[in-house]
């Protein structure tokens, strides 16, 4: 989630904010309990703050939205009855191999497609290697918000499979109006959330996110990506 840089069948889930909430996913709005509404409200507040940050110019208001989003994630995460396992922070090696293999396939695929796009879209954005590690850290933070905040809360309300799709849609919405990043983030969000649903391990997912972002930036034309910007930053970009 860059900030200016960038009816389903019944489903049982392995983890819940409230264990009773995983009895099934065929719910009506009237069946939601206060804990469900609280989870949805937290998701809505943070998502709204992120959109506010994405769609405002750098300045006081933009800083307020960023601080609101960051503070809300921290406070709500500390207040919730979630364990390190729930957050995907307890088992750093669980599912490591399939996650990294899946990520490597995606990275190689983008790297192979990239040269063909340069003939149409022009040169890539040259990101200094010294700054690449900062993007990897930012990718890990994005995955914490996507998985450990959005996904686990939506999972407690609608079940894990619905939560996978909804979380991916939220992730993609933050990347509008960049067509490349919106599509890539939706597909990537589906894959990332499914991996998190299966293995509950945030670390390799964050690393793959970082590798994919850097590969996209280094493989696709800057004219398409606008230096990996989203929101108002994408619209106001001038090469």
Q: Residue 115 burial (CB < 10 Å; 0-12/13-18/19+)?
A: exposed
For residue 234 the two structure tokens come to 């994408």
Q: Output the pLDDT for position 128.
A: 67
Vertex 135 angle, CA 131 and 138, to 5°: 140
* Domains of the chain: total: 1
DSSP 125: P
- The rounded mean pLDDT for the chain is 87
Residue 68 within a domain? yes
Q: d(Cα 194, Cα 14) in Å, to the nearest integer? A: 13
Q: Output the pLDDT for position 95.
A: 95
Q: d(Cα 204, Cα 211) in Å, to the nearest integer? A: 10
55 neighbors 85 (Cβ within 8 angstroms)? no
More confidently predicted of 70 and 81: 70
For residue 23 the two structure tokens come to 């009895």
Q: d(Cα 53, Cα 73) in Å, to the nearest integer? A: 14
Q: Which residue has the tokens 């995983």?
A: 22
75 neighbors 149 (Cβ within 8 angstroms)? no
Give residue-wise pLDDT tens across range 3-13. 454 433 334 34
Give residue-wise pLDDT tens across range 205-236. 999 999 999 999 989 998 999 989 999 999 99
Q: Per-residue pLDDT for 17 more than 90? A: no
Residue 13 within a domain? no
Residue 103 within a domain? yes
Q: Per-residue pLDDT for 167 more than 80? A: yes
Q: Output the pLDDT for position 25.
A: 43
Residue 192 within a domain? yes
Residue 132, CA atoms < 13 Å, CB-side half-sphere: 17
Write out the residue range of the structural domain in which residue 115 sits.
Answer: 19-235
Question: Average pLDDT in the 19-34 region?
Answer: 57
Q: Output the pLDDT for position 126.
A: 66
User: Within a 10 A sphere around the Cβ of 95, how many other Cβ atoms?
Assistant: 17
Residue 9 within a domain? no
Residue 218 within a domain? yes
Residue 12 within a domain? no
Q: d(Cα 196, Cα 158) in Å, to the nearest integer? A: 16
Give residue-wise pLDDT tens across range 77-119. 988 778 899 999 999 999 999 999 999 999 999 999 988 888 7
b/e 68-78 (16+ beta carbons within 10 angstroms → b) = bbbebbeebbe
Give residue-wise pLDDT tens across range 28-58. 666 789 889 999 999 999 999 999 999 999 9
Record the pTM: 0.85
Residue 11 within a domain? no
Q: Output the pLDDT for position 22.
A: 38
Q: Output the pLDDT for position 14.
A: 39
Vertex 105 angle, CA 14 and 126, to 5°: 115
DSSP 123: P
């Amino acid at each position: 989630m860059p900030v200016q840089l960038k009816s389903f069948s019944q489903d049982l889930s392995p983890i819940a904010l409230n264990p009773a909430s995983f009895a099934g996913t065929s719910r009506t709005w009237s069946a939601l309990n206060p804990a469900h509404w609280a989870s949805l409200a937290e998701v809505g507040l943070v998502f709204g703050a992120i959109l506010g940050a994405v769609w405002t110019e750098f300045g006081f208001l933009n800083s307020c939205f960023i601080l609101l989003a960051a503070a809300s994630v921290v406070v709500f995460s500390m207040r919730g009855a979630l364990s390190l396992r729930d957050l995907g922070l307890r088992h750093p090696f669980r599912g490591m191999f399939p996650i990294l293999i899946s990520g490597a396939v995606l990275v190689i695929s983008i790297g192979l497609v990239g040269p063909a796009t340069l003939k149409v879209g022009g040169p890539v954005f040259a990101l200094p290697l010294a700054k690449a590690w900062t993007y990897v850290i930012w990718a890990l933070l994005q995955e914490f918000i996507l998985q450990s905040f959005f996904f686990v809360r939506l999972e407690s309300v609608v079940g894990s499979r619905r939560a996978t799709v909804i979380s991916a849609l939220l992730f993609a919405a933050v990347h509008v109006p960049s067509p490349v990043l919106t599509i890539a983030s939706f597909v990537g969000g589906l894959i990332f959330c499914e991996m998190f649903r299966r293995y509950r391990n945030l670390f390799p997912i964050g690393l793959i996110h970082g590798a994919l972002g850097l590969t996209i930036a280094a493989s696709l034309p800057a004219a398409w990506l606008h230096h990996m910007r989203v929101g108002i930053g994408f619209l106001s970009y001038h090469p």
